[in-house]
């Protein structure tokens, strides 16, 4: 039987309850889940790639263990289809919060399919309780002194607080 390997790309800066929701759902349908942390050299991230790796391992690792899913975390700075090929992924996991996401994601899927017709995009809908969460908004709330505990797991909340205190 062929192993189902999926790539779940994103910035994960920071990883939110929304990301965790999609990763949990993905772990139900794949044998190996690769979270691919996008590194854009023109942007200054809130967390370094290594900090994001550590947080992802801390919060997604137990979910993967519980479901018997192999977990890997990588970084990439090129085309997502190239990252998928390097990891032997044949599925690309994308979370959908609303219709706006769907419109954008359909464009991405079309471009990715043109470049890599052997890699299929699998859309997973966000759970209602996390549908409104976006990492960019979490960063904004945090940097303005707001409470982000409803949007991130405790480990991420602590890491954000630590980062903002330095």
Is residue 154 classed exposed, middle or buried when 0-12, 13-18 and 19+ CB atoms within 10 A define those classes?
Answer: exposed
DSSP 96-148: E-SHHHHHHHHHHHHHHHHH-TTSEEEEEEPPTTTTT--HHHHHHHHHTT---
Q: What pLDDT is recorded for position 131?
A: 94
Across the range 103-126, mean pLDDT stands at: 95
Tokens linked to 93: 């996991």
Do residues 43 and 135 lie in contact, with contact meaning Cβ atoms separated by under 8 Å? no
> For residues 56 and 12, is the Cβ–Cβ distance under 8 A?
yes
pLDDT for the residue numbered 42: 77
Residue 32 pLDDT grade (very low, low, confident, very high; cuts 50, 70, 90): very high
The confidence score (pLDDT) of residue 99 equals: 84
- pLDDT for res 40: 80
Question: Averaged over 64-77, what is the pLDDT?
Answer: 96
Q: Per-residue pLDDT tens for 126-166?
A: 999 999 999 999 999 999 999 999 999 999 999 999 999 98
Q: Is the pLDDT assigned to residue 29 strictly greater than 90?
A: yes
The CATH number that applies at residue 15 is 3.40.50.620
Per the CB < 8 A criterion, the answer to whether 130 and 123 are in contact is: no
Confidence class for position 44, pLDDT limits 50, 70, 90 = confident
Mean per-residue pLDDT, 20-49:
93
- Domain total in the chain: 1
Q: Print the domain residue range for 71.
A: 5-165
Distance CA 127, CA 42 (A): 32
Establish whether the linkage from the previous residue to 14 is cis, with ω within 30° of 0: yes
At residue 154, the 3 state secondary structure works out as helix
Q: Within the chain, what is the greatest distance between any pair of CA atoms?
A: 50
* Token output for 142: 């945090």
Residue 93 CA to residue 98 CA, distance in Å, equals 16
């Amino acid at each position: 039987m062929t192993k189902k390997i999926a790539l779940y790309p994103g910035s994960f800066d920071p990883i939110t309850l929304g990301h965790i929701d999609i990763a949990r759902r993905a772990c139900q349908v794949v044998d190996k889940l690769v979270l691919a942390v996008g590194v854009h050299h023109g942007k200054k991230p809130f967390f370094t790639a290594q900090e994001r790796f550590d947080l992802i391992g801390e919060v997604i690792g137990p979910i993967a263990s519980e479901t018997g899913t192999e977990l890997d975390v990588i970084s990439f700075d090129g085309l997502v289809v190239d990252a998928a090929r390097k990891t032997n992924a044949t599925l690309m996991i994308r979370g959908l919060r609303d219709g706006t996401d769907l419109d954008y994601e359909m464009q991405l899927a079309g471009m990715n399919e043109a470049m890599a017709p052997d890699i299929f995009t699998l859309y997973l809908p966000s759970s209602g309780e996390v549908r409104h969460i976006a990492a960019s908004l979490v960063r904004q709330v945090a940097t303005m002194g707001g409470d982000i505990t409803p949007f991130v797991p405790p480990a991420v909340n602590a890491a954000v607080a630590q980062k903002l205190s330095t």
